[in-house]
A and B are shown apart, each in its own frame.
Chain A
Amino acid sequence: NAGVMQNPRHLVRRRGQEARLRCSPMKGHSHVYWYRQLPEEGLKFMVYLQKENIIDESGMPKERFSAEFPKEGPSILRIQQVVRGDSAAYFCASSPPSVFTEAFFGQGTRLTVV
């Protein structure tokens, strides 16, 4: 059973470009979470999604950031018009459709904005 798959592992974007980060949850998991981690810091919650629904986006910046988890395919975190401050590691986690017990994390996408 493959774990949470994130791609790309590393992404370099110039200021003003768009960044698309993809996350395929573990098989059978319908809940997806996105977290951001700055160097030497803990993870900060961004958004919680279920298939075709955003459940909690209280951690998402109001502008330029969006997330989706379509019926088919991976979850996508999209950052438009990236700025240097968006440089961070972005982690996706998934959990099964039941009472929450554990979030399984992917290896992350390291975004560098130059």
Chain B
Amino acid sequence: TQLLEQSPQFLSIQEGENLTVYCNSSSVFSSLQWYRQEPGEGPVLLVTVVTGGEVKKLKRLTFQFGDARKDSSLHITAAQPGDTGLYLCAGVQAASKLTFGTGTRLQVTL
């Protein structure tokens, strides 16, 4: 069974702070996705990274895929209350099955 461990599990920060969430696995994935999930809703895709070492930016969010395609990070600059939510990484392997990480719950307060 492939496992994706995310750290930290919980993160509570103040508006304006920076943070990094990590997603680690012993397995290699063809690509890796990051989702955000809000209470009572399904996950929504933020980004897909495909190439080892790839870096993608989405406004204040920076995503990096490890060189060996086993790990990834999400960095948020100047966090805002609207960033609050559950962040999930998901590895994609054969047959389109997503293996989700354990999740990082982020709370950003004023």
Contact = CB atoms under 8 A, between A and B. Distances in A.
A102 B48 contact: yes
A70 B3 CA distance: 32
Interface residues of A, number: 25
B42 A105 contact: yes
B99 interface: yes
A105 to B, nearest CB: 3
B10 to A, nearest CB: 9
A15 to B, nearest CB: 25
A17 B92 CA distance: 35
B98 interface: yes
B69 interface: no
B43 A45 contact: no
Interface string A26-60: 00000101010000111111001000000110000
Interface in B10-57: 33, 40-45, 48
B44 A105 contact: yes
Interface residues of B, number: 23
B97 A43 contact: no
Given A102-B48, A105-B42, A107-B42, A42 B95 contact: no
Contacts of A40: 103, 105
A45 B97 contact: yes
Interface string A90-107: 010101000011111111
A104 B103 CA distance: 18
Contact of A41 (B41, B95, B96, B103): B103
A105 B19 CA distance: 26
Please name the 4 residue pairs, one residue from A and one from B, whose CB atoms are nearest each other, closest first: A105-B42, A100-B96, A42-B100, A43-B100
9 contacts: A33-B97, A33-B98, A41-B102, A42-B103, A43-B88, A44-B100, A45-B97, A56-B95, A108-B42
